[in-house]
Amino acid sequence: MASFHTLHVEVNGQPQKRSVQPRQHLVDFIRNELGLKGSHLGCEHGVCGACTVEVDGRIVRGCLTLAVQTQGCKVRTIEGLSEDGDVRDLQEAFIRNNALQCGFCTPGMVMAAKELLEAKPDASREEVREWMSGNFCRCTGYHAIVDAICETLAERARKGQKVGA
Amino acid sequence: MNTTTLHPTSTSMAANPTQAGPEVEERPKVHPADPGDKPLHPVTEDPRYIGKSVERPSARKLVQGQGTYIDDIELPRMAHVVYWRSPVAHCRIKRIDASAARGMPGVVLVADGHDIAKICKPWVAVLGHLAGMKSAPQYPLALERACWQGEPVVAIVAETREQAEDALQVLHVDIEELEPVVDMETALDAATPLIHPELGDNLCFARDLNVGEVDDAFARADAVVETTFEFGRHTGVTLEPRCQIAEWNSADQKLTVYHSFQAPHMMQDLYARQFDLPESQVRVVCKEVGGSFGIKVHAYPDDFATVALSMMCKRPVKFVADRIESFISDIHARHHRVKARIAASKSGEILAFEMDDLTGIGPYSMFPRTSAIEGNQVVNLVGGPYKHKNYRAQLKVVFQNKTPTCQYRGVGHPIACAVTEGLVDQAARAIGMDPLEFRRKNVIPDDAYPATGASGIKLEVLSHQACLRKIEQMMDYPKLKAEIEALREMGIYRGIGFAALIELTNPSAAFYGVGGARIASQDGCTMRLDPSGAISVSVSVGEQGQGNDGIYRQIAADAVGVDLEKVRLVLSDTDVTPYGGGTWASRGAGVGGEAVLLAGQALRANIVKVAAVILKRDAAELAIRRGQVVDAQTLAPVLDMAELGRVAYFRSDTLPKDFTPELMVTRHYAQRDFPFIFTNGVQASYVEVDPDTGFVKLLKHWAVEDCGRVINPKLVDEQIRGAIVQGIGGALLEECLYDERGLMINASMADYLVPMSGEMPDIDVAHVQTPTRSSQLGAKGAGEAGTAGAPAAVMNAINDALSPFQAQCWSQPLTPEKILRALGKV
Amino acid sequence: MKSPQFDYCKPDSLEQVFSLLAQHGDDARILAGGQTLMATLNMRLSEPALLIDITGLKALGGIRVQGDRLYIGALATHTDIENSALVAQHAPLLAQAAPHIAHRAIRNSGTWGGSIAYGDPAAEWPCCLCALDGTVHLQGPGGARQVSATDFFLDLYTTALQPGEIVVGADVPLDSAADWVGFDELARRHGDYAVAGLAVAARFQGTLAQRVNLCFLGIGQIPLRARRTEALLAGKTLDAGTIEIAVASLKAELDPLPDLTHRADTKRHLATVLARRLLQAAHASRSAIPA
C-alpha cells in the first residue's frame, strides 16, 4: 500500500540518502537503517525520554517523529554529540558523579541536559530537576544526574563560557 | 510542576546544598570485638582501590551511547516474534484462525501452545521448603485456557517487527470469557470459582507463626495500636524492556540465548531441562542490561516460547517486549493487605507484634523462584530491628486472574518495614514518646550479637544504635522538629518519618537451594595473568548497572597488586565464566566479591611462586606492589610483571622441568555461616503536605546504611539513592489499577506513574561499616535496602504531617485523594 | 509498538491540503507536531491511510500583533510561544501556562494549532483560549472563517472543525493594564496532564472585578467556563466573602468526570481550591495597586 520515500537527511554530520517507509519513526531509522544504536526505545509513546535526539538543533522525541519528517534536516544522536565534544564536560561530570548505572536512559538524559545548558545557563537546582523531568531513570533516583548538570552549569558560568554550537 | 504554593524552603535545606560525597563512620567503640576508631583493616597487602570511589569501567562508554544492549544485536537471518496475548483475565481458547496472518508479508511462522508443547515441557513453580505450597502446571503458550490478561497464547514470527505486528492485526482468536477471580479478599470464599479445580482451592501458600506469649503481651500492654495497611500492586518498569534473542543452531544442536537478564546460569539450566538438552549444549549470554531489579531474574513463558520458535524456524528469533506488553507481562509485586497491631508499655517497651497478611498473586506461581517468597519474607521480617520476643503472624498467598507476581527489589522488605515502622510511630505517639527515642529504646543493642529475631531469623551483627545516632546528627533532628512546630503555627504542615530496617543479603543455599531450585548460591572467579602483565578476570555475577564490574576490578587489582587499568573483566557468558548464581538478594559484592578476592589472592601467590623460580629466591622474600614483583623487605622492584609473563608463557625452556607456572586460577565462595547476612539501616523522610489539595512535597531524605565493608562508596550511595526513589514510587505514585473484570486500566507510561526528577528529593547517604565475619572482604549487600525503608519513612512522614488534623492514611500509594479523604475534605 | 502502514505527503499549498482532505476524508490525518498523533499511531489505536504534513506551509507560522489581538499561527510550537517576547507582553496567561505543557522535547515539536484542533479538555491551550475569549481561525475549501473559542470546543475531542477544514491559527485579545490573568494546575508530576487546572482572565476597575472568566481544564468534556459562577463574580470586589460565595457556586456548578485515580468529588474539591487561590491572588494584586 504505502510507497517508499527517498529521504535525504544529514545525521551526525554525514549526509544520508535512504529509502524509508513513511511509518518508520526516527529512532528506528537511526538504529535499523544507520546502525547507530545509542538512541534507545523505552515506551514509544513519548513519555520516557529514552529516544531523545536532536533535529535542527532542538531536542525531540525520536519515537514521535517520523523519519520522513526529517527531510533536509540535520539530525544529531548521542554518537555525534559525543564525537563533536559539545558536552564533553557534562559527560565527564556524569562519569564523576556516577550519574548513570545501567546507561539505558543516559543518551536521552545527555541530550535533554545539553539543551538545558544552552537555554538556561543559570538554571537553579530546582529548575534543573524540572527540566529533566521528561526523562525517566529507574536506576539513579536522579540526585547524581542533577549534581552532574549543576556542576557543569557552575563550571561553565565560572569560565564565562558562551554555550552553543 | 506541583504548584502547591509552598513557602520558602527552610534554612536547613537551602543552606546545605547536598554534597554527593558520602560520610563514612567507622564502627563505634561499643562493639567489643572491634574497639576504637580504627579504620577497617585492609584486606589486601597493597590496598589502593577497595574503599575508594573510583570510576566504573563501563561508565565512559555508556555516557557516549556505546553500550550494547540485546536489541542492538543483529544476527544473520534473525526474525522477530510478537505474541498474541489474552485480552481478558480469564477465557477458554476455542479456535485460532491464523490463515490470514500466515498470508501476511514477511510472516515466517505462526505457532500456538500445542506446537510449543511438543518441544518444551510445562513447569510447576513450587519450593520444597515452603511447606504445603502448590501451583498448577504452566506452559509457554496457553493451551486450552488463558488465565490472565497478558498471558501469551499465539506467536507470530516475521522478518521484521513491523510485519509481525501487522500480521497480529489479522489473527483471529475465538475466546469464551470465563469468570475471573480478581479480588484477593474473596479469593478463598466458597462462592468464588476455582482457577485450578485440581488444586482444590485458590490458596498457593499459607503460613502461621506463633512465638512467645502474644496474648499475654497484648493483655498487659498500656498501649495497643491496630492498623490495616494496604499496599498497591505495582511493577518494576525497567527502562529497557525484557528482551532476548534465541539462536538455535540445528547443525550443532546448540542453543545460544542472548538475554537481558540477571542470572544466566539459571536460565541455562532451565532451558536445558525444559527442552531436554544437555546442559553443555546451552549457552546464555548477557550484554548491557538496561535495568533489572528482579524483573529480569525470573523465567517467563515467553522466554521459553521464543527459544522454541527458534528451534522450529531454525533461525535466530528476537523478542522485545513492547512497553504496553511489559505492563501486563512483566512480573508484578507487592499487593498486600496487612492487619497488624503492636503492644507497648507506657515506659516505651515494645511487647509484641501481631500481623495477618493477605497477598494476591497471579493464577500461577512464577517460575522458578515462586510467588510465595515475598509473603514469606513479610512474616520473617515484621518487627525485625526490635528486641521483643512475642510475635504472631499469619500469611495467605492467594491465586487471582491477574499478572503473575514474583521477587522485585526488596521482596517483602518494603511491606514488612512499612507495617513495623508505621505501628512503631503510632505506638510512640500513643504513649507520648518521641519516635526516635522509642526506636532507640527498642532496637536490638549493638553489643547483643549474634542474635535471633522473634521470627527466628539469625542476625550476625547489626548496628541499629550507631545508625540512629548518625541519622539524628545528619538531619539535625532537633532543629527540624522546631521548624515543624513553628511552621504549623503558620498553617504549613510538615512531618518527619523514620524507618529502621533490616535487609537480607549474601544468601546461603537456604533461600532456594534447599527448596529444590537449581539456583546457585555460590559464585566463582577465574583470574589470569596475561603475558603483558594485565589481569583478565571472569566472574559468575554480572553487571546490570549497579557497578559489580567496578568493584570486581577494584578487588582484583588490590588482591593481585596491579593498577586498576590493568584489570579486564569478562562477565555474563555461561560458556566462559565460572558457574554461579548471578544478581539477586544483594549478593554481588558479598558473594561475588569474595570469590574475586580469593582468586586474586591465589593468583598473587602463584605469581610470586613463578617469580621465586625465575629469580631463584625464596617465595617468602618476595611480594607484589604496583604491578611489579618486589623484595618483601625493601620493596625494591626485582621483576616486572610483563617480564614474568613473557618467561612463564614463552620461555618454559628456561624453567625447571618439575615446575609449571599456573597463572590462571579459579576460586569459589559460598556464604555458609548464616542463612542470610543481614544488614541494617535507618532512613528519614521530611515532607510537606498541602491539606487543601492532599499533594505531598518531598523535601529531603536521609539514609544511614551499614552494609559492612564499603568497596566503592560512590557506587553504594548511588544504589541506595536509586533504591530509595524506587521505594518512593510505590509509596506515592505507582499502582497497577484494575477494573472489575481483571483488566489493567493504566498500562502505559502516561497512566502508570513512575518517579521523575521533578518530584524527588535530594538524598543524603552515610554509612556505618560493620564487616561480616563470614568472609575476608567483610562486605554485605546494599542494593535493596533503600527500597526496603523508603516507603515506610515517607508514609510515616506524611502521617506525622497530618497528625494535627487527627488524620491518618496507611494505604500505599498515598494519593492526594486518599489524603483528602483522611482529612475529611472529600 | 510499531505504527501501521500509511502514506505520507507534504503539500506546499493550502489548496493541495484541501484537495487531499476532500479526496481521502476520514482516511487522512493532518500532521503538524505529531506529538499526539504519533503516540496514537504507535499504539495502533488509529489506522489512517495518509498523513498530510502541513509543516511546509509557512503562512501558518508566526506570532504577531494584528490590531487589538495577538495572532498565533497554527504551526507555532509550544516552545515558540514559551520563548516569545510578544506572548510574554501581550498574552501573559499563555506564558504562564506554557511551562506546564509536557516537557521540552515535546514542546519543541507540538503546535498551537494541533492542540486546538485536538481539543483535549485536559490540555492547556484550549483552556487558556476559552478563558481569554479567543478566536479560532479556520480555513477550508469554502474559504476562511472564525469561530469563538467557547463555540469551538463542542464535546470530548470534538470541535467545530468541518470535514475538509484545518485550523490555521487563533488569536487572543491583547493584555491591558486593567487585566489580571492567572494560571495554575495540579499535576501528580510536572508535565503530566493535570488532575485539575484553572485559567483566570479578569478585567478590573480598581479593586472591582468587572468580569472574571474562569476556565477549567481536566474537569469536563471540554474546557469548562464556569458561567454561573462568573456571573456571580461580575462587578464584585474579590474579598474573602465573595470568594467563598464563588467556591460554593462552583461546588454546585461543576460536575467533573472522574479519572483513573480521582473521583468526581475530589476533582470538584481541587477545582475549588484552585479557584480560591487564583481569586485570592487576583485580589491581592489589585489591592497592591494604588487607587
Write out residues 85-104 of A within 8 Å (CB-CB) of B: 91, 94-98, 100-104
**B547 CB contacts (<8 Å, ≥6 apart)?**
A98, A101, B56, B712, B715, B718, B719
Instruction: Give the type of residue at C15.
Output: E
Q: Are B458 and B450 in contact (CB under 8 A)?
A: yes
Instruction: Give the type of residue at B216.
Output: D
Q: Using CB atoms, which chains have 3+ pairs under 8 A with C?
A: A, B
B105 lies within 8 A of chain C by CB: no
Tell me which chain A residue has its CA closest to the CA of residue B68.
A37
Q: Tell whether the model's pLDDT for residue B11 goes beyond 90.
A: no
Q: What is the pLDDT of residue A64?
A: 98
- What is the rounded CA–CA span in Å between residue C288 and residue C276? 18
Map grid coordinates 586498576 to a residue.
Answer: B564
B542 lies within 8 A of chain A by CB: no
pTM of the model: 0.96
Tell me which chain B residue has its CA closest to the CA of residue C192.
B750
Backbone φ, ψ for residue B641 (5° rounding): -60, -40
A70 lies within 8 A of chain B by CB: no
Architecture label for domain B522-669 = 2-Layer Sandwich (3.30)
User: Counting Cβ atoms within 10 Å, is residue C234 exposed (0-12), middle (13-18) or buried (19+)?
Assistant: middle
User: Counting Cβ atoms within 10 Å, is residue B740 exposed (0-12), middle (13-18) or buried (19+)?
Assistant: exposed
CA distance C217 to chain B (A): 15
B16 lies within 8 A of chain A by CB: no
Q: What is the pLDDT of residue B38?
A: 54
B144 lies within 8 A of chain A by CB: no
**Interface contact A101-B546, CB threshold 8 A:** yes
- What is the rounded CA–CA span in Å between residue A101 and residue A139? 6
Q: What is the pLDDT of residue A165?
A: 43
Q: Tell whether the model's pLDDT for residue B537 goes beyond 60.
A: yes
Secondary element (H or E) of residue B686? strand B677-689
Under DSSP, the state recorded for C111 is B
Average pLDDT over every residue of B101-119: 98
Q: Tell whether the model's pLDDT for residue A105 goes beyond 80.
A: yes
- What is the rounded CA–CA span in Å between residue A46 and residue C42? 10
**Interface contact B816-C262, CB threshold 8 A:** yes
- What is the rounded CA–CA span in Å between residue A44 and residue A49? 9
> Complex ipTM, two decimals?
0.97
CA distance A36 to chain B (A): 9
Give the CATH class of A85-159. Answer: mainly alpha
A42 lies within 8 A of chain B by CB: yes
Domain residue limits, chain A: 5-81, 85-159
Residues of C in contact with B817 (CB under 8 A): 261-263, 266
Average pLDDT over every residue of B609-623: 97
Q: Tell whether the model's pLDDT for residue B18 goes beyond 70.
A: no
CA distance C10 to chain A (A): 9
Q: Tell whether the model's pLDDT for residue B99 goes beyond 80.
A: yes
What is the share, in percent, of chain C residues with pLDDT greater than 90? 97
Q: Alpha helix (H) ranges present in C37-138?
A: 37-42, 78-83, 85-90, 92-97, 104-107, 112-118, 124-131
Q: Are B491 and B485 in contact (CB under 8 A)?
A: no
Architecture label for domain B331-510+673-822 = 2-Layer Sandwich (3.30)
Write out residues 111-140 of A within 8 Å (CB-CB) of B: 125, 129-130, 132-140
B545 lies within 8 A of chain A by CB: yes
- What is the rounded CA–CA span in Å between residue B280 and residue C47? 48
Q: Tell whether the model's pLDDT for residue A161 goes beyond 80.
A: no
Tell me which chain A residue has its CA closest to the CA of residue C35.
A64
Q: Are B617 and B38 in contact (CB under 8 A)?
A: no
Chain mean pLDDT for chain B:
94
Angle at B755 between CA B750 and CA B759, to 5 degrees: 110
Q: Are B322 and B328 in contact (CB under 8 A)?
A: no
**What is the side-by-side strand order in the sheet with A5-11?**
A14-20, A5-11, A74-76, A52-55, A58-61
Q: What is the pLDDT of residue C291?
A: 55
- What is the rounded CA–CA span in Å between residue A82 and residue B363? 48
**B166 CB contacts (<8 Å, ≥6 apart)?**
B104, B105, B158, C4, C5
What is the share, in percent, of chain B residues with pLDDT greater than 70? 95
- For residue range A54-102, list pLDDT tens digits in order: 999 999 999 999 999 999 999 999 999 999 999 999 999 999 999 999 9
Helical pair B785-802 and B413-431, crossing angle rounded to 10 deg: 30
CA distance B233 to chain C (A): 14
Q: Are B581 and B522 in contact (CB under 8 A)?
A: yes
Q: What is the pLDDT of residue B12?
A: 33
CA distance A30 to chain B (A): 12
Q: Tell whether the model's pLDDT for residue B16 goes beyond 80.
A: no
- What is the rounded CA–CA span in Å between residue C137 and residue B141? 54
Q: Which of C3, C43, C192, C266 is the best residue to mutate to test the B interface, defined by the most B CB atoms within 10 Å of its own CB? A: C266
- For residue range C206-255, list pLDDT tens digits in order: 989 999 999 999 999 999 999 999 999 999 999 999 999 999 999 999 99
Among the listed residues A134, C257, C270, C192, the one whose alpha carbon sits nearest the alpha carbon of residue B816: C270
User: CATH 3.30.365.10 region(s) of chain B?
Assistant: 331-510+673-822, 522-669
- For residue range B793-822, list pLDDT tens digits in order: 999 999 999 999 999 999 999 999 999 999
Position B31 confidence tier, pLDDT thresholds 50, 70, 90: very low
Among the listed residues B790, B812, B268, the one whose alpha carbon sits nearest the alpha carbon of residue B577: B268
- What is the rounded CA–CA span in Å between residue B102 and residue A147? 53
Among C2, C192, C269, whose Cβ lies nearest the Cβ of B826?
C269
CA distance B429 to chain C (A): 30
Q: How far is CA B708 from CA B386, B478, B718, in A?
A: 20, 29, 16
The CB density around residue A15, as the number of other CB atoms within 10 Å, is 9
Residues of A in contact with B763 (CB under 8 A): 141, 143
Map grid coordinates 589470569 to a residue.
Answer: B528
Q: What is the pLDDT of residue B511?
A: 86
Pairing of strands B91-97, B332-333: unpaired
Among A23, A130, A134, whose Cβ lies nearest the Cβ of C102?
A134
C176 lies within 8 A of chain B by CB: no
Q: What is the pLDDT of residue B513?
A: 87
Write out residues 431-470 of B within 8 Å (CB-CB) of A: none
Chain C residues with CB within 8 Å of chain A CB = 1-8, 10, 31, 34-35, 38-39, 41-43, 49, 51, 53, 55, 79, 99, 102-106, 108-109, 189-191
Write out residues 715-734 of B within 8 Å (CB-CB) of C: 733
Average pLDDT over every residue of C155-163: 96
Among the listed residues C57, C97, C65, the one whose alpha carbon sits nearest the alpha carbon of residue C81: C97
CA distance A109 to chain C (A): 11
Among C5, C189, C266, whose Cβ lies nearest the Cβ of B756?
C189
- For residue range B479-534, list pLDDT tens digits in order: 999 999 999 999 999 999 999 999 999 999 988 988 889 999 999 999 999 999 99
Backbone φ, ψ for residue B388 (5° rounding): -60, 160
Reading the block at residue B784, the C-alpha cell is 535493596
Q: Are C174 and C201 in contact (CB under 8 A)?
A: no
Q: What is the pLDDT of residue C290?
A: 66
**Interface contact A142-B17, CB threshold 8 A:** no
Instruction: Tell me the three state secondary structure of residue B346.
Output: coil
Tell me which chain B residue has its CA closest to the CA of residue A146.
B757
Q: Tell whether the model's pLDDT for residue C135 goes beyond 90.
A: yes
CATH assignment of B73-178+239-292+295-329? Answer: 3.90.1170.50
Among the listed residues A41, A34, A31, the one whose alpha carbon sits nearest the alpha carbon of residue A9: A34
Reading the block at residue B669, the C-alpha cell is 565462595
Q: Virtual CA dihedral for B631, B637, B641, B644, nearest 10 degrees?
A: -70
Q: How far is CA B819 from CA B242, B695, B826, in A?
A: 35, 8, 9
Position B8 confidence tier, pLDDT thresholds 50, 70, 90: very low
- For residue range C8-46, list pLDDT tens digits in order: 999 999 999 999 999 999 999 999 999 999 999 999 999
Backbone φ, ψ for residue B675 (5° rounding): -55, -45
Fold for the domain defined by A5-81: Ubiquitin-like (UB roll) (3.10.20)
| Residues pairing with C181 in the sheet | C201
Position A3 confidence tier, pLDDT thresholds 50, 70, 90: confident
The CB density around residue B169, as the number of other CB atoms within 10 Å, is 12
Residues of B in contact with A23 (CB under 8 A): 162
**Interface contact C38-A25, CB threshold 8 A:** yes
A66 torsion bin: left (phi>0), alpha (psi -120 to 50), beta (else): beta
Reading the block at residue A63, the C-alpha cell is 519515537
- For residue range A33-61, list pLDDT tens digits in order: 999 999 999 999 999 999 999 999 999 99
Q: What is the pLDDT of residue B15?
A: 35
Average pLDDT over every residue of B131-136: 97
Backbone φ, ψ for residue B794 (5° rounding): -70, -45
CA distance A2 to chain C (A): 5
